[in-house]
Amino acid sequence: MVKKVTIMNNPLYPALLKKLSEGAELTKNEYLELIRNRETVRDMASELARAERDRSYGPCIFVRGLIEFTNCCRNDCYYCGIRRSNTNIRRYRLSPEDILSCVDTGYGLGFRTFVMQGGEDPYYTDDILSDIIRSIKELHPDCAVTLSAGERSYESYRKLREAGADRYLLRHETVNPGHYARLHPSSMSHKERTNRLKMLMELGFQTGAGFMVGSPYQTEEDLADELIFLRGLRPHMVGIGPFIPHKDTPFAGMEAGSSELTVFMLSLIRLTLPYVLLPATTALNTVDPQGRIKGINSGANVLMPNLTPEDLRNDYSLYDNKLTSGPGAAANIGLLKDLVRATGCTIVTDRGDCRYI
């Protein structure tokens, strides 16, 4: 007689999730089991993660105005559309005046955090960036400034912090050095990247780590390791989104990461780091029209609508088919409010600092 095994009824995975939601530390193997068997516990993970988010911050979704201030980059990451070697791209840089004008527009729309993200562009010296940060802070002292400008020296980060930058996003991209080496040219170092996260935390930035889900060569074991790494690092923010191929990169033909796995990872991150600020990213909404909603329903609590001048938005092309209009555009914050309200959450327009530093 054939023995029937119904995984659906295996009590192990729900028990593991419950344990995690009660604050216990899971082993790598336990995380791995959950990731491998996510089909069976997906809904439960979302539910627990949502409850955990609500316990930490209430059913609040924080919004950040995203200003993609330069698509010039000295790096050559194999996955990224604005990599140095891509000659099929119109490069741009926003002037300090342009950036301040984006901030003013965003301020009028209610934003109180601005994220300046760009390629690693040496044009923006410490002095230039510091002046921009100071101007934003002078004009709008009630706002937080987040930078996402890649790897710089300790001294540079120190100056930017001194100028008033509050937060810094620097995804480590992968926890696994061997995997890192398959995503980046040899001139880039995994150790240098992760060390910078420690520098940023030491300098008092609210710091964001993160990685792509489903990047080429990533394994489920890597994902389990990500959770162990994040638990040890205790960053204030974690940015994850599915990898999406870009036609002018060496990874053009690779498969995109899935919405379903990304959303599950969001739940596990929320349960592992209850206080974390966790965006539902544009990339997630690009692979899945319901991505933003699914992210929020699985414990995410940040959205980053786009404030980049409209005529340049398409040139900040990290990956193909990036969404640049609709509720993800800052000007359409009204649409976003409606979408968020339908999830039972409310958009909050204060700075949205991490509460448990």
Q: Retrieve residue 205's tokens.
A: 């930035």
Nearer to ligand SAH, 170 or 268 (CB): 170
Buried b (16+ CB within 10 A) or exposed e, 311-334: ebbeebbbbeebbbeebbbbebbe
- The answer to the question of residue 243 lying near ligand SAH (CB under 6 A) is yes
- The answer to the question of residue 282 lying near ligand SAH (CB under 6 A) is no
- The answer to the question of residue 129 lying near ligand SAH (CB under 6 A) is no
Stretch that binds ligand SAH, among 27-35, 115-123, 136-144, 198-206 (CB under 6 A): 115-123
Q: Can you tell me whether residue 144 is helix, strand or coil?
A: strand
Sole binder of ligand SAH in the list 13, 31, 79, 264 (CB under 6 A)? 79
- The answer to the question of residue 254 lying near ligand SAH (CB under 6 A) is no
- The answer to the question of residue 54 lying near ligand SAH (CB under 6 A) is no
Contacts of 33 (CB under 8 A, 6+ apart): 12, 13, 16
Sole binder of ligand SAH in the list 80, 116, 145, 354 (CB under 6 A)? 80
Q: CB 267 → ligand SAH: shortest distance, Å?
A: 20
CB of 111 within 8 A of CB of 65? yes
Residue whose C-beta lies closest to ligand SAH: 150
The CA distance from 198 to 191, in Å, is: 11
Q: CA nearest 21: which of 53, 59, 61?
A: 53
The CA distance from 214 to 244, in Å, is: 9
Strand order in the sheet with 60-63: 302-303, 60-63, 346-348
Nearer to ligand SAH, 120 or 126 (CB): 120
Sole binder of ligand SAH in the list 106, 150, 295, 328 (CB under 6 A)? 150
- The answer to the question of residue 115 lying near ligand SAH (CB under 6 A) is no
Sole binder of ligand SAH in the list 115, 165, 224, 318 (CB under 6 A)? 318
Q: Can you tell me whether residue 207 is helix, strand or coil?
A: strand
Q: Look at phi and psi of residue 125 and say left if phi exceeds 0, alpha if psi is from -120 to 50, else beta.
A: beta
- The answer to the question of residue 216 lying near ligand SAH (CB under 6 A) is no
Q: CB 150 → ligand SAH: shortest distance, Å?
A: 3
The CA distance from 260 to 245, in Å, is: 17
Sole binder of ligand SAH in the list 148, 176, 259, 298 (CB under 6 A)? 148
CB of 169 within 8 A of CB of 201? no
Sole binder of ligand SAH in the list 92, 124, 180, 319 (CB under 6 A)? 319
Residue found under tokens 């980059």 = 73
Q: Retrieve residue 246's tokens.
A: 């870009």
Stretch that binds ligand SAH, among 32-40, 84-92, 167-175, 302-310 (CB under 6 A): 167-175
- The answer to the question of residue 244 lying near ligand SAH (CB under 6 A) is yes
- The answer to the question of residue 212 lying near ligand SAH (CB under 6 A) is yes
Stretch that binds ligand SAH, among 15-23, 33-41, 45-53, 239-247 (CB under 6 A): 239-247
Q: CB 41 → ligand SAH: shortest distance, Å?
A: 26
The whole-angstrom distance between residue 58's C-alpha and the CA centroid of its chain comes to 20
The CA distance from 274 to 269, in Å, is: 8
Q: How many CA atoms lie within 13 A of 175 on its CB side?
A: 19
Q: CB 94 → ligand SAH: shortest distance, Å?
A: 15
The CA distance from 45 to 51, in Å, is: 10
Sole binder of ligand SAH in the list 33, 173, 225, 226 (CB under 6 A)? 173
Nearer to ligand SAH, 127 or 255 (CB): 255
Q: What is the largest CA-CA distance in the chain?
A: 77
Q: Which amino acid is at 178?
A: G
State the residues that interact with ligand SAH by CB under 6 A.
79-80, 117, 119-120, 148, 150, 170-171, 173, 212, 241, 243-244, 246, 283, 318-319
